[in-house]
């Protein structure tokens, strides 16, 4: 009786989680993100990226075409349900569409790269919750600013399990130019493997207007 109740509960959780992860995965596929950035995107965890508007309103990204009206950031990060991974995690944010999606000659541009993300508290580590980085980011968050006339850019946030040598890596430092970044090369070089979660947004040249596609 107890066992079957547990199995039903687990099935219910698995279905709820899978449906959301599948939606995220298909949104990434629809936006051609895995091909563009040469990474396999098979998410196991829902990454929560939340922007706070000057009004105090907060907007959480949903891996679709919704764009927050204010993207100054920095955003806060979290995971929706934990999967028994305590961290630490690495979070990267990139724009592969610079200066334009049609001719991305200086891409990728790195908008964020930070490690040592851990759960804000032990309740969060069991049920999901806010992630905080315990060290300064390698690249602090840079606001999306596509140039006038460009189509909206994809701003992609990815969560990785932190590798042992992430903190010793010297490939990217706070003084490394943010242009001509290659996340798949970097991830391979520092042993991050493939991302375990992610989300993205489209942002057009005027961040106060909704992106047109």
Ligand X SMILES: *[C@@H]1O[C@H](CO)[C@@H](O)[C@H](O)[C@H]1NC(C)=O
User: Residue 20, interface with ligand X (CB under 6 A)?
Assistant: no
Identify the three-state secondary structure at position 151.
coil
Nearer to ligand X, 35 or 206 (CB): 35
User: Residue 60, interface with ligand X (CB under 6 A)?
Assistant: no
Q: How far is the CB of 85 from ligand X (least distance, A)?
A: 16
Give me the 155-184 binding string for ligand X, x by CB under 6 A, dash otherwise. ---------------------------x-x
Q: Which residues of 177-211 are buried (b: 16+ CB within 10 A; e: fewer)?
A: ebeebbbeebbeebebebbbbbbbbbbbbebeeeb
Sequence-ordered list of residues with C-beta below 8 angstroms from that of 128, at least 6 positions apart, any chain:
46, 78, 79, 80, 81, 82
Give me the 63-102 binding string for ligand X, x by CB under 6 A, dash otherwise. ----------------------------------------
Catalog residues that contact ligand X under the rule CB under 6 A: 38, 107, 120-121, 123-124, 127, 129-130, 182, 184-185, 188
């Amino acid at each position: 009786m107890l066992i079957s109740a547990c199995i039903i509960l687990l099935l219910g959780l698995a279905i709820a989680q899978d449906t959301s992860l599948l939606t995220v995965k298909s949104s990434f596929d629809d936006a051609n993100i895995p091909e563009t950035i040469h990474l396999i995107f098979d998410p196991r965890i829902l990454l929560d990226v939340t922007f706070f508007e000057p009004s105090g309103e907060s907007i959480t990204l949903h891996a679709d075409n919704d764009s927050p009206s204010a993207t100054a950031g920095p955003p806060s990060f979290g995971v929706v349900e934990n999967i028994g991974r305590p961290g630490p995690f690495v979070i990267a944010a990139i724009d592969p569409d610079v200066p334009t999606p049609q001719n991305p000659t200086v891409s990728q541009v790195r908008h964020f790269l930070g490690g040592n993300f851990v759960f804000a508290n032990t309740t969060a580590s069991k049920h999901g919750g806010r992630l905080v980085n315990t060290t300064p980011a390698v690249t602090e968050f840079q606001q999306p600013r596509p140039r006038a006339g460009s189509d909206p850019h994809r701003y992609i946030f990815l969560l990785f399990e932190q590798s042992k040598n992430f903190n010793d890596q010297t490939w990217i430092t706070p003084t490394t130019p943010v242009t001509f970044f290659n996340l798949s090369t970097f991830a391979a070089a520092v042993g991050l493997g493939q991302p375990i979660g992610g989300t993205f947004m489209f942002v057009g040249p005027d961040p106060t207007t909704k992106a047109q596609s």
